[in-house]
Chains A and B, each alone.
Chain A
């Protein structure tokens, strides 16, 4: 059973990382959710074998009792990752409201440098940063 859960943890980490590498924001968020599920499950199985509930009076000295600490930690971790995922979804929604687009945008600074490289051959071309510095208004540079 532990082998099965360990394999499940591996699958969750793998798919999580794969999804995070996507360019669509919703997939990145789903990937993060999978990754944190993987971490939570891992934290749960490090407690060792399952056993009786660790309630005083419900077991004798011979019984195997499950370790109560990992479930307590996992409970906290689940709440945290749930909250963070909800916050990210809200951010993604706000981003969609503003841009009507779900992809992760290019860095405006990267784009400026790329444009600088392209405009160099043309004689008399003004340096790009004079026209639109990144700090002046990065919002202008984003795709409409």
Chain B
């Protein structure tokens, strides 16, 4: 059954090629893209079931022995994220297909599928250089998606995005070179075993270098400012999938490398301070904005802080909290951006002073936003509450009271800025209403597929809250195997 592992990567790539072949028919492209992502999702679910039953699974490409051949590995952590990500990718794809102003260009579907494949590969790879390659494929696809259409604002902000990520990639390559110089391998499991023989100061330097690289990709303070600058200019489905996945892949890589290669015995203060600053600076930035998409973009930064907090504690319950938080955050963040896409589609803008009083006209959109926003802010009984509760408990367990206090303040401010969106968009009247808002015509209704996929994704976040017990249990086991990676290493090295 290990043969399943390459499927979530290979299937989207093959289907991407098919969408290029059928570039003349948009309908065919849509069908192929949806089929491709669904097949990848099926494989991912099978992998999760397999890993849950039998522990970490590994396969080396070309049948070469491990270390020589490139390894693909699935453990509970990567399989969980793979499933959640692919569900999100599928929902966003349906949303994009349903858009009324179907301005999707020929390049959208192939690029989107390449992005899907690269995200899957980043989760599954067991090789540092292969991780670099998958990041590059993912970023190359995202560069195209963020500038698709070539409008002036997109080019201007896309440029920042591309340049920052290229600098981070150059640093990533540097880090890989140093790793290879020190240990002569780039296989993660092999590195994990050889790390003990390396002088301690070198380990610290490498660990910090990786922190900078993945911190930039994940938008951690102080290298986050590219994110709220570039994301809001992209089109709704694109920004939704970016918000849900790209930064989380950065966090995934950070968690994977820091736990596997640079294990800490107790809380790591550097990471905790960064986490606190990320939470507070991100949410303060959100409060200052007056556009729904920009507010939500700053929130991506703020929420990354909570994941880094869980990792920084370096206890099983802390990492479990972080894993649960990532699992909850991917669908929640994406569904909030999908709602902003619904608002933009129906009202013509997402600026708080141009839209207003949508509660009466589009109550369904308002309800969807309300559910996702309460979940993001961490109000019981929603999934955000479970995530934050487990992080707070872990913080108390590790006796890091300061960071717990900071995280609670951050979550209060999150609620405040969600209320700001609610007041601006769903209550009140617009100061400078758009045509759609002032006419108040039936045009305010969004197409059924767009609304439908948003409903499904919000449903997923509610389901995470309902099944919080079993899911948290899975996350706890995932965290346990992250901090005690013997099974992972054995699976890769074939022992």
Contact = CB atoms under 8 A, between A and B. Distances in A.
Interface of A: 16, 20, 25, 28, 32, 35-36, 38-40, 42-43, 46-47, 67, 69-70, 73, 76-77, 80-81, 83-84, 87-88, 91-92, 94-95, 98-99, 104-105, 107, 109, 129-130, 133-136, 138-139, 142
Interface stretch (B80-88, B201-209, B288-296): B288-296
B435 interface: no
Contacts of B186: 69, 73
Nearest to A85: B166
A32 B180 contact: no
Interface stretch (B111-119, B149-157, B191-199): B149-157
Contacts of B156: 95, 105, 138, 142
B424 to A, nearest CB: 11
Given A87-B143, A95-B155, A36 B180 contact: no
B180 A43 contact: yes
B290 A133 contact: yes
Contact of A133 (B132, B184, B353): B353
A105 B159 CA distance: 10
A99 B151 CA distance: 11
A91 B184 CA distance: 38
Contacts of A47: 180
B147 A39 contact: no
Interface in B225-249: 229, 232-233
Interface in B151-204: 151-153, 155-156, 158-159, 162-163, 166-167, 169-171, 173-174, 176-178, 180-181, 184, 186
Contact of B147 (A69, A77, A91): A91
Contacts of B167: 20, 32, 35
Given A46-B180, A98-B155, A135-B351, 4 more contacts: A20-B163, A67-B184, A91-B155, A94-B150
A54 B422 CA distance: 65
A142 B152 contact: yes
Contacts of A87: 140, 143-144, 162
A32 B291 contact: no
B329 interface: no
Interface string B118-158: 00000000000100110010001001100100111101101
A73 B127 CA distance: 12
B155 A136 contact: no
B70 to A, nearest CB: 11
A84 B166 contact: yes
Nearest to A95: B155
